[in-house]
Amino acid sequence: MQILVEQRTRKNRMDGHDGCLSPFSWFIICLRARDLGLRSPSLFRAMGSGVPEGEVPVTGLLIMAASMMPAYVYVVVVLLLLVVILYGFLEFHFIGDLFRGFRGDRVNLTFDPRSMIYENVVSKCRVLQGRYLATLWLSSPHLQIAFLTLYGRPPVFTYRRQLFSVSDGGTIALDWLLASDVAGGSLDNGRIISKEDITPIVIVVPGLTSDSSSAYVKHLAYKIAKRGWNVVVENHRGLGGVSITSDYFYNAGWTEDIREVVNHLHQKYSMAPIFAVGTSIGANILVKYLGEEGEKTPVAGAASICSPWDLVVCDRFINRRLVQRFYDRALTIGLKGYAQLHQPVMTRLANWDGIRKSRSVRDFDNHATCLVGKFETVDTYYRRCSSVSYVGNVSVPLLCISALDDPVCTKEAIPWDECRANKNIILATTVHGGHLGYFEGITASSVWWARAVDEFLSVLHSGPYMHGQKMESPDLYTPLDSSIDKSPYINLTKDGLVTAMRSRTEDEDIAGENDEQGDIEAEAVSGAIDITASGAIDTPSLMSLRPGQTEDENAGVRTPKDASATSMKTCLKQLSRQSQKSLWLLAYIAIVSSWPLVGSALLFVFRSKLKGVLPHSVRRG
C-alpha cells in the first residue's frame, strides 16, 4: 500500500503538482488496492485518520476516500443522474436533433400509390415534402403541450359571433374570422358574408373542452384568414360561453352538429367552397362525419390533426404509464369543469355524484357520457364513436397529420392500412410534434401543422381535385354492419375450392328498372356469370329470338337461370363428396397419431381404396 502511495505522489510531482494527494488521488489508490486485495492500516495513518494498528478492509478505505471529497462533487453527480432520468421520462430529443445537425426529420407520407390527391396536390406542398424541426427549447412532446396550454403565443384578433340553433333545440356558437378582419376591414351592413361570395369557408372543429379561444385554434384561424379565406369555428355545445338549451351534449362521436352546420353554410353560401379542419376529438368527429356522409357531403376537402382514431386503444394507452395518467387526470379535470358549468342539466340526465368522484376520463364517460348518449357501456361508446371504422368511406380529399410521440393519442391507434387503401386520404406522420403542439422556430411563434393545412387546402382549391357539389348516394357504407352475412355467392370448383363470386350490383338493378326496352337483355346480363362444373366463369350471350324462330323452337335452349341452377346442384354434390373425404382423412390422421402400427397396417391393406382420399406424399411414404 505504501508503494502505491509513493507512486501516486511521484506522478503528481512529475506533472508539476506538489506532493500532496487530492481526494481523487486517494480514491484511485483505494481502487487499485482493492483490485490487488491489499489491506493496510498505514494508509489510514498516512491520511491522518489515527486508526490503530490492525487489519482494516479496503472497503473502509473507499469510504474514507469518499468522505474526503467536496460536497459539490456529489451535487453534480446527483444533478447529472436527475437530468438523465428526466431526459428519458420527458422524452427529450435535443441530443438526437444535435447529431442530425438540427435539420429535423422528414415527414412520412402514407397513401394509395394510385392516389391523384398525392400526385397532383400533396406533391406540390413544400411543407409536407420537407422536414419538421421542433423549437430547440421545446424538444419534448410534454414541453410542447405545456407551452401550448399555458402560453401558446396566439395571434391577437377578435371573432364575430353567430348563435346557431340546431334542430333538436341546442345552440352552437359559430365564431367567424373573415379575411377582411385580419386586413383591417369592417363588417358591411351587419352581415357576415354575402350570399354570392365565392371566398372559401373553412370550418374548424376544436378538441375536447376546447373552443375558439384556444391557442392552436387561433393559430390556424389566423393563418387561413391571412390567405384571404373566411374561417368559422364551430364551438361544441356548452362551450364558448353558451348555455345548454337541450338535453343533448356533444361527445367524441357526435356528428349531428357538424352535419347541420355544413348543410346550413352550403345552403346559405352555395357559391363558396367549404373546407373543414378537425383537431383532436374534433378530428375524430370530422372523419366520422365524412365517413357517414360518403359522397353526399358538400365538403370540398378536409384535414384531421392529431386524431385519436381508435378510442378503445387510446383509453388503454392513457392509463399505461405515469405520464399518461397525468394527462388522463388533466383531461378529467377539464371534463368535470365542463359538467360543473351545466350542473342543472347534468344532474337531471347523468349521475352527478359519480361525475364529482371521477378520477379518469373513463370514469366520467361511465357516469355522464354513456347515460346522456344512451350507450350500454363505456367500451360500446368507444367502439361506436371511433372514426377508424369510417375511414374506408371517406370520399373527400383528406389530409391526416399525427405525431408519433403524441402522449395523448397514441401512434398505435393510427389506421395505416385503412388510410393506404383509400385513394382520397393522405396520412402525414412526423417523429416529433406532441399533441397539437408542433411549435417551430427559435421563438416558437409558428405552428407547423397550421402551415401544412393552409398550404394543402390552398393547393387543393387551385386545382380540379376538390370534392364535387352535394350529391345523393343511395347506399352508404355502415361500418358496424358485417359483410360476411351479405353473400357474395360462392363459386365451387371441381377440386372443392370456395371462392368469391360477383353478385348483381345495385347499379345493375337500377339500370334494369330504368331501361324498359332492354328488360330481357338486362336480365341476361344480371345472370351473366355462370358457374360451370370445372369452376370456369362463362359469360353467355344474350337470349333473344332469331328472325323466324318460334318460342317452341327456342324452348329447348337452356336459359342462364337453368344453367346456374344445374351448376349449383353439381357444386353442392361436389362439396358433399369433398366433406366426406375430409372426414375420412381426419379419422386416418387420428388413428395414425394414436396407434402408428395400426395406421400403417390400414394404409397397406386399404391403399387402393384410400387412393382418392390421402395425399400423394402420404401414399408414397
DSSP state of 546: P
Task: Report the sign of the C-alpha dihedral through residues 388, 392, 397, 403, in that order.
Answer: positive
Distance in angstroms (rounded) separating the CA atoms of residues 587 and 593: 10
Tell how far CA 595 is from the center of its chain: 54
132 φ, ψ to 5°? -120, 125
Distance in angstroms (rounded) separating the CA atoms of residues 281 and 443: 28
Distance in angstroms (rounded) separating the CA atoms of residues 338 and 240: 11
3 state SS of 490:
strand
Distance in angstroms (rounded) separating the CA atoms of residues 390 and 294: 9
Three-state SS sequence of 28-54: HHHHHHHHHCCCCCHHHHHCCCCCCCC
> What nine digits make up the cell of 47?
491520511
Active site residues: 280, 406, 435
Distance in angstroms (rounded) separating the CA atoms of residues 57 and 256: 79
**Sequence-ordered list of residues with C-beta below 8 angstroms from that of 398, at least 6 positions apart, any chain:** 287, 290, 301, 302, 303, 304, 424, 425, 426
Q: Tell me the DSSP string of 498-564.
A: EEEEPPPPHHHHHHHHH-STTHHHHHHHHT--EE-TTS-EE-PPPP-PPTT--HHHHHTSPPHHHHH
Distance in angstroms (rounded) separating the CA atoms of residues 389 and 486: 18
Distance in angstroms (rounded) separating the CA atoms of residues 543 and 554: 9
**Sequence-ordered list of residues with C-beta below 8 angstroms from that of 105, at least 6 positions apart, any chain:** 131, 132, 133, 430, 431, 432
> What nine digits make up the cell of 334?
377539464
54-to-37, 41, 366 alpha-carbon distances in Å = 16, 6, 72
Place of cell 349521475: 351
488-to-26, 499, 501 alpha-carbon distances in Å = 84, 9, 6
Helices 560-594 and 596-605 meet at what angle, rounded to 10?
130
Q: From 299, 166, 311, select the one nearest 238 (Cα to Cα).
A: 166
Helices 256-268 and 281-293 meet at what angle, rounded to 10?
70
